[in-house]
Amino acid sequence: AETSNGAKIFEANCASCHIGGGNILIAEKTLKKEALSKYLKNYDNDSIQAIIHQVEYGKNAMPAFKDKLTPEEILQVAAYVFQNAEQGW
Ligand code: HEM
């Protein structure tokens, strides 16, 4: 998993703020399952799509990535985040 394309995209674009599935800016808003369920809109209904939306448009201090990553890359990194949230990072 660590050498998947999703992992590489995460390391290059997300890990600066979300190292280890955490959040260096807003400590409670991690990428762990419980936090995603609590804070990320629609996560419980459609997890991958909810992550994709956050990555495309950003939120507050998190930048938008829709002009920086391709749709395929955004899907890959969202799947990587979901898989790690399920596994416990
Ligand atoms: C929140 C994913 C890049 C800062 C989140 C959340 C997700 C996410 C799924 C919701 C977590 C929650 O509410 O518990 C990603 C991915 C990234 C990325 C996949 C790379 C493509 C970044 C970067 C920064 C950042 C580079 C810092 C410059 C934040 C902040 C929040 C957040 C501050 C909380 C936003 C709020 O609700 O006010 N991120 N992120 N993220 N992320 Fe990112």
The pLDDT assigned to 1 comes to: 46
Ligand 1, atom 40, lies closest to the CA of: 14
Report pLDDT for 65: 98
- Which tens digits make up the pLDDT trace of 12-71? 999 999 999 999 999 999 999 999 999 999 999 999 999 999 999 999 999 999 999 999
The finding on whether 8 has its CB within 6 A of some atom of ligand 1 is no
CA 62 / ligand 1 centre spacing (Å): 5
Please choose from 8, 10, 13, 23 the residue to mutate so as to test ligand 1's pocket, defined by most ligand atoms within 8 A of CB: 23
Contact indicator for 31, 84 with CB cutoff of 8 Å: yes
- Compute the distance from residue 64 Cα to the ligand 1 centre, in Å: 9
**What value, to the nearest 5°, has the Cα angle with vertex 64 and ends 59 and 70?**
140
Tokens of residue 12, six digits: 């290059």
